[in-house]
Structure 1
Amino acid sequence: MGSIDHRAGGQWDGGHRPVGPGGPWLISPPQDENGHTLLDEDIAAEAETFMFEGGHELPGATGQEPLVSPHSPNVPIGHDTTASGLAWLFYNLAGHPEHQERCRQEVQELLAGRDTADIEWEDLSQMPFTTMCIKESLRLHPPVTAVSRRCTEDIPLRDGRVIPKGVICLMSIYGTHHNPDLWPEPEVFNPLRFSPENSKGRSPSSFIPFSAGPRNCIGQSFAMAEMKVVVALTLSRFVLRRDTARPPPRRKPELILRAENGLWLLLEPLLGVA
């Protein structure tokens, strides 16, 4: 995505550009992983990997088949976001074997001798610790790091400035999830943040991996269910370990959260599992 040079202070001009003593704010063109500037059609094509459209094309997209309506029984969702979420989840579990083992035991006790292929929809609500691990991974590594919204009314800020109606605001999901005022020790992977007792009194806007409000991700329930199933199938067969021969991953500033050179894990088959 493009980067924003945030300079304190300033007002907005008629074109809704921040100007004045602290401005302007500079927004660089969005670029791909190779540093090439993305055209509008490139951005639209990339956005289609994680956004829903109600039976019509994204603005700027040409020559594309319309996406299926979200009311259809066969609703497409972004494969890139789910892949990113799962990759970072497995990386986090591999780095915390005690949490990984607790998830594995939870799945094994839930299935009680049944094959993982027989997992039922009702089973997914009986995986509380696994759900906490998924949520904590989505907090630490949200697949979509920012979203934009157009203001439908003037919004007064605490410092007295006003964001005028019609302005498009870019909201950082990653920044919110790493705000130490909301999340003590934000860089630590701690699934117990999402235990019922620790979640009491927490603003729902502090955890927004699927955005929030009436325009949040329509596929979030399916995405959570999908991740639970994949985790159950994987941990029932393998032990995940990090490849210590490789350096810690570095985040790449793209639409979807990725790691430079990928995330490398070692999969060790569980004893006694065919």
Structure 2
Amino acid sequence: MVIICTLNISDLFPGGWIVSGSVVLNIGVAVLLGYILYRLVRFFVWFQYTKNVFKDVPGPKDTHWLYGNLHLLPEDSEERLMLLNSFCKSFPKMFKFWVGPFRPTLTVNHPDTVRLVLKTAEPKPTGFDGVYRFGLPWLGRGLLIAEGEMWAQSRRLLTPAFHFDILKPYIDTYNDAGNILLEKLHPVAMSGKSFEVFQVVSLCTLDIILRCAFSYYTDCQRKGSTHPYVQAVHDLSDTWSYRGRKLYLYPDIIFYLTSRGRRFKKNCDLVHSVAEDVIKNRKAALDNQEPSATSAKKYIDFLDILLTVKDEKGKGMTPLEIRNEVDTFLFEGHDTTASAISWILCSLAKYQDIQEKVLAELDSVLEGRNTDDLQWNDLNKLEYLTMVIKEGMRYHCPVPFIQRQFTKDFELEGKTFPAGTCVSIQMYGLHHNETVWEKPMEFIPERFSKENVAKMDSYQFVPFSAGPRNCIGQHFAMNEEKVILAKLVHRYKFELDPDHTPKKKMAAVMRSDNGIMLRISQR
């Protein structure tokens, strides 16, 4: 076969040469092989440089030629957490941890090293071996995972959704949802039997985020002991963490052939359907100007802003961008607060003296009222409860770690690390660092008194992250936790189940591998 070029090929090949198909094919193969060789050389040079940089960084010695340090992680969830914490004890500022044969991750767990990372707006790692890549099919590039200009624009557009004037009316929803939770727990209190806390609290926090952020009413607390969405999020979070520990599951083509991968896909479809239903209902309300539409509500909520916001060029968010943000805030808005509330209740059940101090403060604030509903102005009066919540988030770490990937070279502890380096902020290690905290393994709310907080390093306690990429909904979460915990403690006395010891399970959110079983009695 002969290819005749219409672009005067004789100008390129003097003397009347004719280029055959096989020659073109050979040139194409040569170019492709040359490009592959170029990429391999670049990778080899980068890897050798990175390996030399990390050579003197402290870290675990037992490094496998293929798995790196992943093989050191036990299958038992609590043993895994304790191993990571032991690394933080041995290396109190930072340490390296190899993820596979080619990727060293730098883990920081001290204010001096955490500060440099969190004060930047560097992105989350989403490359082949980036842990956030495994969450993309679920959350997309919403505010949690978005990077660069996309993140900056989303942050700028969505910040108004958490303005003081918008947060203030939510107190009524917190109270109403909390009252439903109290009503639901009444038979449990009468029975004297223990109950699993996380499951019940998750329905309450899901109810709150659906109503506050999306004006979406499902009565999910009364409809049953669980909800398909809550179960799906639990499994998605667990699989996300599991996949990050299994190198052979990194390729998508392999992961989605496994039963776990197929279940992950099915759960993604479920949570996406919930988000799309929420969006569809609001769009219909806005289009028909129903009473629940923006113009008739007492406040503009998060979804209102998603549907109506426009950038400087007058461009609104795409349907996929809206769904990504809804998925992100549904997850972050209910699962992390459920974790915090559940673990704090576990500590209050263990330390009865602390529980009684919380009760005494509540009695003082609510004195003379015939209801335990809190008002907006009451929240700042709950000083001791606030200390308990902060200590609970330090001690239990609802979000145990986050990651960033530097886009440029950076210096840390006198050493220059190359662009592309993944840095893991180990919150649990930071919040239990013996060189930072006195008696870190003890639950001491008084460490968060105003006097002690004034002496703290601003990067010593970062349950909501810090810097430009801190949690946009942290005030929403703190207010919600105050109201729900206040109602629960004021109505019921919490005690540990003597036959049950919860085991921490570190995933995207700190959970219990075997549940959190408590007993309650009416006050």
Normalised by the shorter chain, which TM-score bucket? 0.7 to 0.9
CA deviation digits over 1:150-204, x for unaligned, max 9? 225432222x321223423111011100101111111100000001122222101
- Equivalent residue for 1:43, pick from 135, 158, 174: 135
Counterparts of 2:133 and 2:421 in 1: how far apart (Å)? 23
2:510 alignment partner, one of 224, 245, 257: 257
Give distance in 2, aligned partners of 1:211 and 1:164. 24
Provide closer, same or farther for how the CA distance between residues 244 and 227 of structure 1 changes in structure 2, counting only shifts above 3 A.
same
Q: Answer yes or no: is the 8 Å Cα contact 2:333–2:477 preserved in 1.
A: no
Judge which range, 255-264 or 41-50, deviates more: 41-50
Distance (whole Å) between structure 2 residues aligned to residue 50 and residue 33 of structure 1: 32
The reply on whether 1:73 has 2:301 as its aligned counterpart is yes
Q: Please point out which of 2, 11, 19 is paired with 2:51.
A: 19
Alignment of 1:88-127 (within 5 A): 88-116=343-371, 118-127=373-382
Which residue pairs with 1:172 in the alignment? 426
- Contact residue 144 and residue 257 of structure 1 kept, 8 A: yes
Q: 5+ unaligned residues in a row in structure 1: which ranges?
A: 1-11
Change (3 A) 1:149 1:102: same
- Which residue identity does 1:255 align to in structure 2? A
Asked if the contact 1:94–1:242 (Cα under 8 Å) also holds between the matched residues in 2, the reply is yes
Supply the distance in 2 between the matched residues of 1:148 and 1:234 (Cα, whole angstroms).
34
Q: What amino acid sits opposite 1:232 in the alignment?
A: A
Q: Deviations over 1:216-249 (max 9, x none)?
A: 1101001000000001110111000011122x32
Q: Deviations over 1:109-152 (max 9, x none)?
A: 10113244531111111100000000000000111111112225
Offset of residue 27 of structure 1: 6.2
For residues 47 and 18 of structure 1, what CA distance do their matches in structure 2 show? 31
User: Deviation of residue 268 (structure 1)?
Assistant: 0.8
Q: Higher strand share goes to which structure?
A: 1
Residue type at the aligned position of 2:506: P
Show the counterpart of 1:8. none
1:189 to 426, 434, 443: 443
Q: Indicate yes or no: 2:221 matched with 1:221.
A: no
Please tell me the residue identity of whatever aligns with 1:119. Answer: L
Structure 1 CA distance for aligned equivalents of residues 76 and 133 of structure 2? 16
In the other structure, the counterpart of 2:401 is: 146
Distance in 1 between residues matched to 2:371 and 2:136, nearest whole Å? 38
Task: Choose 108-117 or 221-230, whichever is displaced more.
Answer: 108-117
What is the root-mean-square deviation in Å for CA atoms of aligned residues? Answer: 3.7
- Checking the alignment, whether the CA contact within 8 Å between 1:130 and 1:228 is kept in structure 2 is yes
Greater relative CO (CA pairs within 8 A, separation 6+)? 2
Post-superposition shift, 1:107? 1.1
Structure 2 residue 452 is matched with structure 1 residue 210: no
Amino acid at match of 1:258: R
Question: TM-score scaled by structure 1?
Answer: 0.77
Q: After TM superposition, give the deviation of residue 42 of structure 1 in Å.
A: 5.6
Q: Secondary structure of 1:206's match?
A: coil
- Structure 2 portions without partners, runs of 5+: 1-43, 57-62, 78-130, 147-153, 159-251, 253-264, 280-299, 304-328
1:128-143 residue pairs with structure 2 within 5 A? 128-143=383-398
**Percent same amino acid at aligned positions?**
32
CA distance in 2 between counterparts of 1:154 and 1:146 reads 22
SS of 2:443's equivalent in the other structure is: coil
SS of equivalent residue, structure 2 residue 520:
strand
For the residue of structure 2 that corresponds to 1:255, the secondary structure is coil
Deviations 1:26-83 (A, max 9, x none): 36499x999xxxx988623666899487499xxx998745898xxx623644311111
1:13 CA drift (Å): 5.9
**Aligned partners of 2:436 and 2:503: how far apart in 1?**
24
Give the Cα separation in 1 of the matches to 2:484 and 2:49. 45
Contact kept, 8 Å, 1:52 with 1:218, in 2: the verdict is: no
Separation in structure 2 between the aligned mates of residue 96 and residue 102 of structure 1, nearest angstrom? 10
Q: 1:243, 1:98 → 2: CA distance?
A: 17
Equivalents in 2 of 1:16, 1:211: separation in Å?
A: 33
1:116/1:232 contact within 8 Å kept: no
SS in 1 for 2:455: coil
Deviates more, 1:253-262 or 1:172-181: 253-262
Q: Distance in 2 between matches of 1:50 and 1:115?
A: 42
Q: Give 1 or 2: higher helix fraction.
A: 2
Aligned partner of 1:156 among 401, 411, 416: 411
- SS at structure 1 position matched to 2:135: helix
The question of whether the paired residues in 1 share the 8 Å contact of 2:359 and 2:489 is answered with: yes
Q: Deviation of residue 253 (structure 1)? A: 2.8
Bigger-Rg structure (1/2): 2
1:7 — aligned with what?
Answer: none
Q: Is the contact between residue 50 and residue 418 of structure 2 (CA under 8 Å) also seen in structure 1?
A: no
- Whether the 8 Å contact between 1:50 and 1:78 is mirrored in structure 2 is no
Q: Note if contact 1:154-1:163 (Cα within 8 Å) is conserved in structure 2.
A: yes
